[in-house]
Chains A and B, each alone.
Chain A
Amino acid sequence: SQQGEEDPQALSIQEGENATMNCSYKTSINNLQWYRQNSGRGLVHLILIRSNEREKHSGRLRVTLDTSKKSSSLLITASRAADTASYFCATDFSGTYKYIFGTGTRLKVLA
């Protein structure tokens, strides 16, 4: 079973716009990660945020974490066509080594 649920399931935006996707999870965590998956390829690790952090930046990516609401968001600023992919959040199940993935958000950036 999947621990996380991403919202929206699909998102279509114009190049240059910002894209925001959300992740909700069920159990307590130590870390939450975001991954990108291009069609037919493996997952690429984007960013990890620890449970004691509220916000983290990496390039055009901004991740927030609200442990009281058991939710996280990923913001991609100034999107590019190359950002077209599926994005997944993954949480360490009850603080163990086991990362459980959400259902993913399919992002399409139109040139």
Chain B
Amino acid sequence: GAGVSQSPRYKVAKRGQDVALRCDPISGHVSLFWYQQALGQGPEFLTYFQNEAQLDKSGLPSDRFFAERPEGSVSTLTIQRTQQEDSAVYLCASSSTGTGVYGYTFGSGTRLTVV
């Protein structure tokens, strides 16, 4: 596609529910990143994929967070047993290179509110 597509755009979850956030990167982009952005803050790195391989998951806040990209294109970020502190905007970005030297293309994000 022309850009990075994320769905849903907004998600309200009850505490304890599982949520799945989807990211459709630009076709052919090998690198895919997930970031978490709290209100009024900069994006914080969560995890990185190169094709289908998850090369870095050091930013995932707990084992309730799980990400996958099984065929090297679409990625899903799953948050199990959501907590109020998980409320944030989740941003996905893709890049044609592994080093991001041409910049990342970001999606519009999924705003998650846990009530």
Contact = CB atoms under 8 A, between A and B. Distances in A.
A101 B99 contact: no
B24 to A, nearest CB: 13
A9 B31 CA distance: 31
Interface stretch (A12-20, A41-49, A59-67, A76-84): A41-49
Interface in B99-115: 99-109, 111
B4 to A, nearest CB: 8
Interface in B19-71: 31, 33, 35, 41-45, 48, 50, 55-56
B106 A43 contact: yes
A42 B109 contact: yes
Interface residues of B, number: 28
Contacts of A98: 45, 48, 56
Interface in A57-111: 88, 92, 97-104
Given A43-B91, A98-B48, A103 B42 contact: yes
Contact of B41 (A41, A100, A103): A103
Contacts of A97: 31, 48, 50, 55-56, 98-100
18 contacts: A2-B41, A2-B44, A30-B99, A31-B99, A33-B104, A42-B91, A42-B107, A45-B105, A45-B106, A88-B43, A92-B100, A97-B31, A97-B55, A97-B98, A98-B48, A100-B45, A101-B35, A104-B41
